[in-house]
């Protein structure tokens, strides 16, 4: 009787796991990293017209992966006082695309006064990461930013991060917190656990100061 019960439990778990895998293959994911400083109120994210989180997102927020059906997804980011931003993302099974909205000042024209426009940078997953590494990406208005990262021996390495381009470097910490700094001061340390790609997003706050947030991915990333 116990053997029959064990077999039944095993079959149930196998069926459940297979169903989960089949379900996972029907969806890809979108992660939002909010770097929109100007404007009023929270940032709203619409995926194919659906507002998944009506409360919106504050500056510096980073979400987990939000499930989206396969195919082309229309991504719209909006905030009061700004012209909305829009992009399209090809959703692939099991893959996560990171979207980073930020704001750019658009000069006045004969038809329109100067205004803020939301732009969207996309990060696409490539090969799976096999070591602990840091990837820096900047949407700051500065053309390039020099970031320093400390190793366990206390030595600081310098990394030039150009706007809209990824810069990667290995991290020698097996675990713990990896200190980062700019010439103007410290940035939040990177909490390191297992193997993975620890992504640092550099952005401007409302006063124009460079800030940073970080999250972990499990793949190398390229900017689009």
Give dist(CA 17, CA 38) in Å, integer. Answer: 45
Fold of 26-126: Immunoglobulin-like (2.60.40)
Q: Give the residue range(s) of CATH 2.60.40.2890 domains in the chain.
A: 129-224
Q: What is the pLDDT of residue 25?
A: 78
Cα torsion 11, 12, 15, 16: sign: negative
In the CATH hierarchy, which fold is given to the domain comprising 129-224?
Immunoglobulin-like (2.60.40)
Asked if residues 138 and 202 have their Cβ atoms less than 8 Å apart, the reply is yes
Q: 28 Cβ partners below 8 Å, 6+ apart?
A: 67, 68, 70, 91, 92, 93, 94, 95, 96, 97
Query: 3-class SS at 73?
Result: strand
In this predicted structure, what is the pLDDT of residue 23? Answer: 57
**pLDDT by 10s per residue, the chain, length 224:** 555 544 544 444 444 334 344 555 789 999 999 999 999 999 999 999 999 899 999 999 999 999 999 999 999 999 999 999 999 999 999 999 999 999 999 999 988 899 999 999 999 999 999 999 999 999 999 999 999 999 999 999 999 999 999 999 999 888 899 999 999 999 999 999 999 999 999 999 999 999 999 999 999 999 99
Contact in structure between 100 and 120 (CB atoms under 8 Å): yes
pLDDT at 4: 52
Sign for the pseudo-dihedral over CA of 154, 180, 200, 175 = positive
Q: Report the alpha-carbon distance of residue 145 to residue 137 in Å, rounded.
A: 10
């Amino acid at each position: 009787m116990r053997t029959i019960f064990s077999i039944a439990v095993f079959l149930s778990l196998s069926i459940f796991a297979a169903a989960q895998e089949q379900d996972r293959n029907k969806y890809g994911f979108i992660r939002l990293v909010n770097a929109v400083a100007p404007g009023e109120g929270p940032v709203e994210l619409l995926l194919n017209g659906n507002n998944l989180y009506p409360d919106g997102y504050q500056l510096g927020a980073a979400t987990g992966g939000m499930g989206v059906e396969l195919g082309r997804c229309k991504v719209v980011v909006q905030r009061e006082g700004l012209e909305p931003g829009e992009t399209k993302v090809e959703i692939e099974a099991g893959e996560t695309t990171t979207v980073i909205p930020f704001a750019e000042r658009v000069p006045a024209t004969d038809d329109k006064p100067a205004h803020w426009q939301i732009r969207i940078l996309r990060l696409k997953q490539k090969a799976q990461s096999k070591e602990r590494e840091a990837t820096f990406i900047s949407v700051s208005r500065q053309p390039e930013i020099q970031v320093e990262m400390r190793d366990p021996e206390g030595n600081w390495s310098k990394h030039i991060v150009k706007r809209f381009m990824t810069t990667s470097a290995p991290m020698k910490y097996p675990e713990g917190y990896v200190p980062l700094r700019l010439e103007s001061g410290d940035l939040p340390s990177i909490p390191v656990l297992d193997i993975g790609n620890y992504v640092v997003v550099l952005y401007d706050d409302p006063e124009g100061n460079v800030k940073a947030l970080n999250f972990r991915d499990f793949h190398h990333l390229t900017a689009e």
